Structure 1
Amino acid sequence: MADQIIKGGKELDAFLRSLPVKVERNIMRAALRAGAAVLRDEARANVPVDSGALRKSIKVSTGFKKGVVRATVKTDPKIAYYAHMVEYGTKPHLIKVQDSERPINWRLTGKRNKLTYMSMRTINRNALKIGNTFIGPVVSHPGAKPSPFMRPSFDSKSGAAIEAVTAKIRERLTKEGINVPAPEAE
């Protein structure tokens, strides 16, 4: 990634710090959200689509903690818990029926230690199922190649994100009635 040069960064920071804290915080939150939205849109464009859940789960959030405004682009683990596996890939591994998912094979009747038959439902719950096919208690997964979508988004669009941040700062300062000079042409 090429280094990003922001002209007037020190002056802009000093000016923003001279504003009331609430105004500075609101301006920076809006600006960082605009920059993060650029990265979010690029990540959504880069994500491999299967069901679309991973694409929909990529969100922007902002926060303010200990005097620092932050913006985050992340996936919602409730919607797409597997996002890290898509980004980084997986090694070959075994998939087993979890012990917590295995019912007791033999059901006890009212008398202690007297066993009854194993039901078909119990047998099916001891096997992994893909679609309507029961496979067995263990499957050898070949692994998955990485399909990065977050990191390349940052690498390719960080300059555009910085431009979006500065444009939003300029827009919000103008809205507050503060005269903002036009950006310097390069």
Structure 2
Amino acid sequence: MADSNIRGGRELSALLSTLPAKLEKNVMRSALRAGAVVIREEAKANVPVDQGLLKKSIRVSTGAKRGVLTATVKAGGRMAPHAHLVEYGTRPHKIEPTNAEALSISGTPFRSVEHPGARPQPFMRPALDATAPQAIEAVAAQVRKRLTAAGINVPAPAAE
């Protein structure tokens, strides 16, 4: 992952602590979502197929637990339960039917089948590695936008 320097973290924390808790929570939740959306879009671009349920299953969620806000980029779920198999690959393994009926492939019955495995095709981790600096910039821009909309003057960062 590329090195990312966050400037003004202490100042931002001090400013946020002076805001009402609800405003602080809403500002940070939307900022974290903005950063996660950058990663989500890169993950969708990295999926090894052009279309389908795996690409559609990549989503962003936010949450708060014990005062800690989080944003998560997820893939899979009911829509694409195979997402982890694409990301990490599979070892060669034997497939056996779960009931007494024979396994049928193209109408031909089998008692078991040797699956050769599948090579990993990572799409989530490379998305994070490639876009972390842009995600951090998106978070900062969203904080600045929301605070400015709330009537708090937040200057743009100085160019280096």
- Does TM, normalized by the shorter one, top 0.5? yes
For 1:91, the equivalent position in structure 2 comes to 91
- Tell me the percent identity: 59
Alpha-carbon separation, structure 2, partners of 1:35 and 1:73: 10
For 2:59, the equivalent position in structure 1 comes to 59
Alpha-carbon separation, structure 1, partners of 2:10 and 2:148: 19
For 2:128, the equivalent position in structure 1 comes to 154
For 1:75, the equivalent position in structure 2 comes to 75
Instruction: Could you tell me which runs of 5 or more consecutive residues in structure 2 were left unpaired when the two chains were aligned.
Output: none
Deviation per residue, 1:48-77 (Å, 9 max, x gap): 117611000001000111011110000141
For 1:174, the equivalent position in structure 2 comes to 148
Alpha-carbon separation, structure 1, partners of 2:54 and 2:104: 23
Give 2:44's aligned amino acid. R
Alpha-carbon separation, structure 1, partners of 2:30 and 2:50: 32
Alpha-carbon separation, structure 2, partners of 1:79 and 1:15: 41
Alpha-carbon separation, structure 1, partners of 2:76 and 2:92: 25
Secondary structure, counterpart of 2:91 in structure 1:
coil
Secondary structure, counterpart of 2:127 in structure 1:
helix
Alpha-carbon separation, structure 2, partners of 1:174 and 1:51: 39
Alpha-carbon separation, structure 2, partners of 1:51 and 1:139: 28
Deviation per residue, 1:8-65 (Å, 9 max, x gap): 1111111112211100000000000000000000000001117611000001000111
For 1:27, the equivalent position in structure 2 comes to 27
> CA offset at residue 178 of structure 1?
0.4
Alpha-carbon separation, structure 2, partners of 1:63 and 1:46: 25
Query: Is 1:129 the counterpart of 2:110 in the alignment?
Result: no
Alpha-carbon separation, structure 2, partners of 1:82 and 1:181: 45
Give 1:74's aligned amino acid. K
> CA offset at residue 2 of structure 1?
2.5
Decide which structure has the larger Cα Rg and report it: 1
Secondary structure, counterpart of 1:69 in structure 2:
strand
Give 1:180's aligned amino acid. V
> CA offset at residue 133 of structure 1?
2.4
Q: Is the 8 A contact 1:127 1:134 kept in 2?
A: no
Alpha-carbon separation, structure 2, partners of 1:134 and 1:71: 47
Secondary structure, counterpart of 2:35 in structure 1:
helix
Query: Is 1:39 the counterpart of 2:39 in the alignment?
Result: yes
Q: Is the 8 A contact 2:2 2:133 kept in 1?
A: no
Count of residues paired in the alignment: 160
**CA spacing shift, 1:128–1:163, aligned 2, 3 Å:** same
